[in-house]
Amino acid sequence: MIVKETKLANCFVLEPKVFNDSRGYFLESFNQNTFQKVTGLSVNFVQDNESMSSKGVLRGLHFQTGEFAQAKLVRVIKGKVLDVAVDLRKDSITYGEYVAEELSEDNKKQLFVPRGFAHGFVVLSNTAIFSYKCDNYYNKASEGGIIYNDKSLNIDWKLEEKDFIISEKDLLLPTLQSINS
């Protein structure tokens, strides 16, 4: 396992060891002991999610508020995405800053997104199967989000605006400034 802490504290990029042989490959996609050893964090994941999206689909930026805030360990099983995590932790010196990481079936990279972050991704391949672990249950009433093109975040999503496929719900998300006012 290769682990790198990003510029945002407790947000990590993890690369599991891949065992290749003539049949294909094997990897441990998650191991509680290994995760705790390499990150120093003790996280109890309770829900796994999976979504499939076509090229240009942008899901996010999402978070859950309050007691239903979620940490996520995200990865791509098929295809390639640009994954984005935005630091919204009130007391953080990197508040409002983001990290973006290409996650793909080829690089097998994972991103750990702590509680207090907004999360989203855009699909760079023809299709992508996105799989992630959450340390808190889905709670519709606690859903929140920030519009993907919030100027105060200035996220480079790598694709042209015309190529995005975004849900009606996500197009109506507020700016960071408006959720703070």
Q: Which stretch binds ligand T46 (CB under 6 A): 27-35, 55-63, 99-107, 172-180?
A: 55-63
Nearer to ligand T46, 16 or 60 (CB): 60
Sign of torsion over alpha carbons 112, 120, 122, 139: positive
Q: Write out the DSSP string of 131-145.
A: EEEESS---GGGEEE
Q: Considering the complex, what minimum distance in angstroms separates the CB of residue 60 from ligand T46? A: 5
Interacting positions 112-141 with ligand T46 (CB under 6 A): 119-121, 138
Q: What are the residues whose beta carbons fall under 8 Å from the beta carbon of 151, sequence distance 6 or more?
A: 175
Indicate which residue of 62, 98, 119, 148 is catalytic. Answer: 62
Of 1-9, 57-65, 88-96, 171-179, the segment contacting ligand T46 by CB under 6 A is 57-65
- Annotation says 62 is catalytic: yes
Q: Give CA–CA dist 7/94, Å, rounded.
A: 8
Catalytic entry in 98, 119, 132, 148: 132
Locate 141 and state its tokens: 């009433």
Report if residue 108 touches ligand T46, rule: CB under 6 A.
Answer: no
**Binding ligand T46 by CB under 6 A: which of 51, 126, 127, 180?**
51
ω before 61 within 30° of 0 (cis)?
yes
Rounded CA separation 68/55 (Å)? 30
| 8 Å CB contact between 82 and 164 | no
Say if residue 126 is exposed, middle or buried (CB neighbours under 10 Å; 0-12, 13-18, 19+).
exposed
Residue 167 near ligand T46 by CB under 6 A: yes
Minimum separation from the CB atom of position 41 to ligand T46 (A): 18
Told to check if 60 binds ligand T46 by CB under 6 A, we report yes
Residues binding ligand T46: number (CB under 6 A): 10
Annotated catalytic residue 119: no
Which residues contact ligand T46 by CB under 6 A? 49, 51, 59-60, 62, 119-121, 138, 167
